């Protein structure tokens, strides 16, 4: 079995694959100061490491990458860390490919495999990432924007009379309470951002590229968007599986 780990700045998602089937998955908060021993205890509480024979890691937190490497060594697991020098099966047309986050690359790999080229991945995480696969099947770059949760945190830090609200779509765009007004701004504000950026990307590509949403808040935004066509919550894990298979 393959253990895939997508370590983001806010959350970490683990996936356990039997062949090409995602058998189980877990989502936990990312704690940047966890040690290899703590990670070992955490993962052992979620799944049986003895049943795992391979480990593929994407990490945007450098300190945790080192701890996961120590964890893999302790558990005697062959580890593949997605990064420069790893074969991904997709050409990267970026001025400096080393600048591209591994999660963005594996998203593009999985989207191309599952939905074909051209395509656009919108990943709702700490940041909202737009990643573009050209009609030729190449990764050609994208857009980075502040994520929904970061925007909410910034708003509440600066506005003393506002308060946190649940991430839910309000019944109407025009809010009748402070809560629904905030929810409307968050949901429909990001819907507008996504639709405008996707429209401009399609204009530059010159084709109607398929748009796939992924990430923790994708299912909140997608129903209200005119451009998000598919929701694939485990796209990043699938990309990790594909990259691992191409390097085995």
Q: Is the pLDDT assigned to residue 175 strictly greater than 80?
A: yes
Dihedral pair phi/psi, residue 212, rounded to 5°: -120, 130
Of the pLDDT bands very low, low, confident and very high (cuts 50, 70, 90), residue 163 is: low
pLDDT value at residue 166? 74
How far are the Cα atoms of 2, 59, 189, 232 from residue 73, in angstroms, in the given order? Answer: 16, 17, 45, 32
Q: Are 86 and 245 in contact (CB under 8 A)?
A: no
**How many percent of the chain have pLDDT more than 90?**
79
Report whether pLDDT(149) > 90: no
In angstroms, rounded to a whole number, what is the distance separating the alpha carbons of residues 15 and 25? 4
More confident residue, 159 or 205: 205
Domains of the chain: 2-81 (3.30.420.40), 97-240 (3.30.420.40)
Distances in Å between the Cα of 13 and the Cα atoms of 16, 43, 121, 247 are 10, 11, 18, 21
Q: How far is residue 104's CA from residue 60's CA, in Å, rounded to a whole number?
A: 10
Inter-CA distances, 99 with 50, 72, 103, 149, 242, Å = 35, 25, 12, 24, 21
Catalytic annotation, pick one of 24, 53, 96, 103: 103
- Model confidence band, residue 195 (pLDDT cutoffs 50, 70, 90): very high
Average of pLDDT values for 55-77?
95
Assess whether pLDDT exceeds 60 at residue 185. yes
SS in 3 state form for the chain? CEEEEEECCCEEEEEEEECCEEEEEEEEECCCCCCHHHHHHHHHHHCCHHHCCEEEEEECCHHHHHHHHHHHHHCCCCEEECCCCCCCCCCECCCCHHHCCHHHHHHHHHHHHHHCCCEEEEEECCEEEEEEECCCCCEEEEEEEECHHHHHHHHHHHCCCCCCCCCCCCCCCCCCCHHHHHHHHHHHHHHHHHHHHHHHHHHHHCCCCEEEEEECCHHHHHHHCCCCCEECCCHHHHHHHHHHHHCC
Rounded to whole angstroms, the Cα distance separating 11 from 27 reads 7
* Percentage of residues of the chain with pLDDT beyond 70: 96
Q: What average pLDDT does the structure give for the chain?
A: 93
Active site residue 103: yes
For the full predicted model, state whether its pTM sits above 0.75: yes
95 pLDDT exceeds 90?
yes
pLDDT at 230 > cutoff 60: yes
What pLDDT digit, counting tens, does each position of 24-38 carry? Answer: 999 999 999 999 999
């Amino acid at each position: 079995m393959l253990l895939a780990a997508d370590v983001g700045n806010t959350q970490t998602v683990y996936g356990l694959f039997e062949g090409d089937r995602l058998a189980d998955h877990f989502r936990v908060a990312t704690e940047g100061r966890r040690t290899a021993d703590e990670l070992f205890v955490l993962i052992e509480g979620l799944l049986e490491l003895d049943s795992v024979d391979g480990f593929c890691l994407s990490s945007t937190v450098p300190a945790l990458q080192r701890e996961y490497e120590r964890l893999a060594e302790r558990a005697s697991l062959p580890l593949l860390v997605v990064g420069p020098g790893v074969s991904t099966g997709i050409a990267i047309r970026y001025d400096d490919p080393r600048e591209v986050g591994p999660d963005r690359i594996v998203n593009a790999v999985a989207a191309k495999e599952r939905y074909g080229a051209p395509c656009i991945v919108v990943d709702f995480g700490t940041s909202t990432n737009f990643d573009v696969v050209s009609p030729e099947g190449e990764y050609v770059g994208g857009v980075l924007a502040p994520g929904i949760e970061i925007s909410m945190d910034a708003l509440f830090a600066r506005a003393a009379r506002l308060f946190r609200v649940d991430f839910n779509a309000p019944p109407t765009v025009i809010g009748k309470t402070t809560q629904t007004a905030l929810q409307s701004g968050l949901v429909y504000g990001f819907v507008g951002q996504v639709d405008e950026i996707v429209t401009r990307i399609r204009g530059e590509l010159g084709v109607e590229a398929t748009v796939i949403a992924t990430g923790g808040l994708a299912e909140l935004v997608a129903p209200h968007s005119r451009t998000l066509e598919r929701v694939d919550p485990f796209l990043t894990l699938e990309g990790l599986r594909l990259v691992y298979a191409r390097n085995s």
